[in-house]
Amino acid sequence: MDDQRGEDLRGQPIYVSAPGRICLFGEHQDYLGLPVIAAAINLRIRLTAMPRADHLCVAHLPDIGQDRVFNLDAENRYANEHDYLPAAINVLRREGVRWPCGYEVTVRSSIPINSGASSSTALQVAWCAFLLAAAGDPRVYDRREIALLAHRSEVVEFHAPGGVMDHFATSFGGVMWLDTRPPYEVVQLPTSIGEFVLVDSGIPKDTTGVLAAKRRALENLGIDFAAWKASGYPPLDNELAKREGESRKLLEGTIANALLTVAARELLTHGVNDERLGRLFTQHHVHLSSNLSVSHPRIDALLEEGRLAGASGGKINGSGCGGSFFLHAPGRGIIVHNHFFKQNYRAWIVRPTSGVEVRSTKLEVAV
């Protein structure tokens, strides 16, 4: 719970859990300063940490067959540009954070890896919450601080192109509307939106590469989208008239998806109409596929299959060009799930869930 000061967890066994997420509306908009709507889902990272006598942090990652050792008393070198776990230690050390002992940490996850469901950020949020708890840092009881630390250590530290959506969605949980410009206003929306079916397409994706290329192309449009949003989303007909080809398609898609996010917030705030919500998801995907070119022909076809199987609509999930997609299927989740399961696709029925959670053996603390 934000700003609640709880038990000092230094030197204690610590358990942390953080959810994956799906981006409902606003794909490829958070780094432009435009709002997004995301939902934390009930596939989670689970981290258990036991104190040890030295000042080493030994991380066991059996899901990917790795063991890592980090020094809590020194700056850690990075093995590559995705070495996020030691980055969080380094960022906190530069702020003056210190740990009284080392930890033996085991991480397990039910979130599909490299599929657009925010497995990397869920791990980073859980890891940052653990580090704060292990240091007795009161920020462990502040969701916003955890999200910002995770973003600093996963994105800013490596000059990566991603925005803040994943970190806030995973930290806060539920269904949330997020203003992606400081001070990052969060509005929690009703979570009674039914179930979704998340499907791994099996198509490999390059998250950082796709984000970097698309962000560069969108920023080259030369439009201050945050200012456009602040002025109430006025028509951009003059800007559209100046452009043709891919530049015009990018701008048309960005405008349409921003306005769809506005419509979706209104719908989710005042009561969900499943069919209308499904249509909004599908419209969002059409722009992502046709105008932003971040889908894949096979994913487009699979989404159509899902609608024919009973879903109200759906879209690609994450940076795109592969990875996962989801279908909104309230009351029909098992039917839609089985349609893909029978074709040997990995699929999960998911629902909105809580954000990052921390507990000790003495007391459970939901932050």
Claim to verify: residue 39 and residue 174 sit in the same structural domain = yes
Residues 51-83: pLDDT tens digits? 999 999 999 999 999 999 999 999 999 999 999
DSSP string, 206-248: -HHHHHHHHHHHHHTT---HHHHHHTT----HHHHHT--HHHH
Claim to verify: residue 201 and residue 343 sit in the same structural domain = yes
Claim to verify: residue 342 and residue 331 sit in the same structural domain = yes
CB 198 within 8 A of CB 350: yes
- The confidence score (pLDDT) of residue 361 equals 61
One-letter amino acid at 9 equals: L
Claim to verify: residue 164 and residue 215 sit in the same structural domain = no
- The confidence score (pLDDT) of residue 1 equals 44
Q: What is the token pair recorded at 123? A: 């791990």
Domain that holds residue 23: 14-191+353-366
Claim to verify: residue 139 and residue 255 sit in the same structural domain = no
CB 211 within 8 A of CB 201: no
In a domain, 7, yes or no: no
Question: pLDDT category, 366, cuts 50, 70, 90?
Answer: very low
In a domain, 141, yes or no: yes
Q: What is the token pair recorded at 127? A: 């890891």
Q: What is the token pair recorded at 46? A: 């689970």
- The confidence score (pLDDT) of residue 5 equals 58
- The confidence score (pLDDT) of residue 212 equals 83
In a domain, 6, yes or no: no
Claim to verify: residue 183 and residue 201 sit in the same structural domain = no
Q: Which of 303, 338, 353, 296 is CA-nearest to residue 321?
A: 296
Residues 303-342: pLDDT tens digits? 999 999 999 999 999 877 888 999 999 999 999 999 999 9
Question: pLDDT category, 117, cuts 50, 70, 90?
Answer: confident
Domain tally, the chain: 2
Question: pLDDT category, 146, cuts 50, 70, 90?
Answer: very high
For the chain, what percent of residues have pLDDT higher than 90? Answer: 85
CB 103 within 8 A of CB 52: yes
Say whether pLDDT at 355 is over 80.
yes
CB 89 within 8 A of CB 108: no
Say whether pLDDT at 4 is over 50.
no
Reduced to 3 states (helix: H, G, I; strand: E, B; else coil), residue 27 is coil
CB 340 within 8 A of CB 308: no
State in Å, rounded, how far the first CA of the chain is from the last one: 4
Q: Which of 296, 273, 284 is CA-nearest to residue 28?
A: 284
Whole-number average pLDDT of the chain:
93
For the chain, what percent of residues have pLDDT higher than 70? Answer: 97
| Separation CA 30–CA 38 (nearest Å) | 11
Claim to verify: residue 140 and residue 246 sit in the same structural domain = no
- Give the mean pLDDT of 137-150: 98
- Give the mean pLDDT of 201-218: 84
| Separation CA 285–CA 273 (nearest Å) | 19
| Separation CA 269–CA 266 (nearest Å) | 5
Question: pLDDT category, 181, cuts 50, 70, 90?
Answer: very high
Provide the CA 156 distance to its chain's centre, in angstroms.
16
